[in-house]
Amino acid sequence: MKKPVPFFFLIAALPLAAQELLTLSEEQAVALALEASPRLREAQALAQASQGAVLQAQARLQPRLTITANAERRNPVPEFRLPQELGGKVLYPSIETTGRLNATLSRNLDLAGTLAHLQAVAVQRRTAQEMRVLQVRQEVALQARMAFWQALAATATAEVAEKDLERAQQTLADTETLREVGLTADPELLTARAELERARVSLGTARGQVHLALVSLRSLLGLAVEQAVALQKPSQLPPAPPPLEDLLLQGRAQRPELQALQLQLEALQRQVAAERAGGKPTLSLAASYQWEQPNSRFFPLQERWRGSWWIGAAATWSPWDGGELAGRVAQAQGEVEAARAQLREAQRQVDLEVTKARQRVVDALALLPATAAAVEAAKAREEAVREGFRVGIASLSDVVDAQTALARAEGAWVQSQIAAWEAQAYLLWSVGR
């Protein structure tokens, strides 16, 4: 069975003629949409911010060095001296300028593993955010594919309307020729003119839809409103989809939102462990060196710089906090159960989306042979009726009916092709590609 020849859609409105023509395939449209998408940039920025949380969690496990310094000028005060009979030594001088330089090195030993759990939580949340970046990429890609095919569908409809207008013009010309030789009456001539005007209105409406579809596409791709665009349709139809079982496995393994939810669940489980570890004793080590004037560890005080140091350990344990820890653990456990239920629901939704997407492709591909055959049948009927009209054995109403049927068949053929590619785009998204 002979099918209509695949067509190349060229879209260049009159105001856009001065612009250099940009030819776009489906994949090129996706690439431009990803480059221009503010949603994707936002997701990438949030992923970068989550890396900061990981660095903070890692830093809590490292030794911490703190350096402080200060200097002061004070008012003079009376000095305190020993009595002369005891030597008259100054015990508390009037020191007007004081200063201090202190360096302290400390480290939490994290014996309970709280900080390690919190670091793991931060890492998993960062990875989950990276999965959300992939999710946004796939959503933007799907949006670009749909906008691309909707623009092609609008253009194809306009192309069908142009063919319908050409046939209406030919019908009017044939009617005028027959009227001149007396084979038709004035009412049929008026009918042919009315049919021509109907075709012109249909074409104007179709061109308006093309304009709106291109406005949406240019906006999504970050193109200037005056950019002339040519959209190229693939020369082949989408392939038959793989078995449903294979697609379901792909969707469960590749959909980034499922991976993000799984990581979020694991992070919340780690959070429960971190909360429980918070009830255990903590131990930290610290060492400090001080260089100050005056140094209070030296007696009597003197207006001179002196150094001193200390090293120690500190343990903290709260055996009873009024139930606060138990409340935090219960809250974290509730969030774990909620995340687990959310993951199960998301898995169900993914399975449903994959199943529906595959069926859409199957249905769209199955419809193509019938719509192609309908075009051939309608074309043959229109040619036969037109020839009969020219020799006087068919009426003008028969010609109009045949033209209308042919226009509908051509429109259905074009729309069935677009529907197949839209279904294929949705299927790719549903399995995480």
**More confident position, 391 or 383:** 383
* Averaged confidence pLDDT in the chain: 86
Determine the average pLDDT of the residues in 163-178. 84
Least confident of 103-107, 176-180, 253-257: 176-180
pLDDT for res 353: 92
Taking CA atoms, 34 is separated from 132, 143, 224, 405, in Å, by 14, 10, 16, 41
Q: Which residues contact 215 (CB under 8 A, 6 or more apart)?
A: 225
pLDDT for res 232: 85
- Banded model confidence at residue 89, pLDDT cuts 50, 70, 90: confident
400 neighbors 191 (Cβ within 8 angstroms): yes
CA–CA distance, 245 with 358 (Å, rounded to integer): 11
Whether 190 has a pLDDT exceeding 80, the answer reads yes
- Banded model confidence at residue 13, pLDDT cuts 50, 70, 90: very low
107 neighbors 123 (Cβ within 8 angstroms): no
The H or E element spanning position 24 is strand 22-24
Q: Is the peptide bond before 300 cis (omega within 30 degrees of 0)?
A: yes
pLDDT for res 29: 92
State how beta strands 282-293 and 306-316 pair. Answer: antiparallel
- Banded model confidence at residue 3, pLDDT cuts 50, 70, 90: very low
Query: How many C-beta atoms lie closer than 10 Å to residue 421's C-beta?
Result: 22
CA–CA distance, 243 with 358 (Å, rounded to integer): 9
29: closest CA among 245, 214, 238, 286?
214
Determine the average pLDDT of the residues in 197-207. 90
Determine the average pLDDT of the residues in 109-132. 86
Least confident of 31-45, 175-189, 333-347: 175-189
pLDDT for res 69: 95
Say what the pTM is: 0.76
Q: How far is CA 260 from the centre of its chain?
A: 13
Least confident of 34-38, 133-137, 245-249, 413-417: 413-417
Helix residue ranges, H only, 222-323? 244-254, 256-277
Q: Which residues contact 59 (CB under 8 A, 6 or more apart)?
A: none
Determine the average pLDDT of the residues in 372-387. 87
Determine the average pLDDT of the residues in 103-122. 86
Query: How many C-beta atoms lie closer than 10 Å to residue 175's C-beta?
Result: 24
207 neighbors 12 (Cβ within 8 angstroms): no
CA–CA distance, 299 with 276 (Å, rounded to integer): 48
Whether 267 has a pLDDT exceeding 70, the answer reads yes
191: closest CA among 394, 383, 396?
396
Q: What angle do CA 120, 123, 126 make, to 5 degrees?
A: 150
CA–CA distance, 282 with 288 (Å, rounded to integer): 20
Query: How many C-beta atoms lie closer than 10 Å to residue 290's C-beta?
Result: 18
Determine the average pLDDT of the residues in 27-53. 92
pLDDT for res 320: 83
Please give the sequence-ordered ranges of beta strands (E in DSSP) within 158-281, or none if there are none.
229-231
Both tokens assigned to 220: 């999504």
Cα-atom radius of gyration of the chain, to the nearest Å?
40
Determine the average pLDDT of the residues in 336-355. 94
Both tokens assigned to 195: 């049919």
- Banded model confidence at residue 159, pLDDT cuts 50, 70, 90: confident
**More confident position, 349 or 7:** 349
* pLDDT over 70 percentage in the chain: 95
Both tokens assigned to 303: 């207006």
Which residues face 231 on adjacent strands?
9, 24
Determine the average pLDDT of the residues in 179-185. 73
Whether 61 has a pLDDT exceeding 60, the answer reads yes
Whether 429 has a pLDDT exceeding 80, the answer reads yes
Name residue 34's amino acid: L
pLDDT for res 180: 78
229 neighbors 90 (Cβ within 8 angstroms): no
Least confident of 41-45, 309-313, 402-406: 402-406
* Three-state DSSP string of 280-342: CCEEEEEEEEEEEECCCCCCCCCCCCEEEEEEEEEEECCCCCCCHHHHHHHHHHHHHHHHHHH
Determine the average pLDDT of the residues in 86-98. 83
CATH fold of 9-73+92-430 reads: Outer membrane efflux proteins (OEP) (1.20.1600)
257 neighbors 135 (Cβ within 8 angstroms): yes
- Banded model confidence at residue 36, pLDDT cuts 50, 70, 90: very high
Number of H helices, E strands in the chain: 8, 9
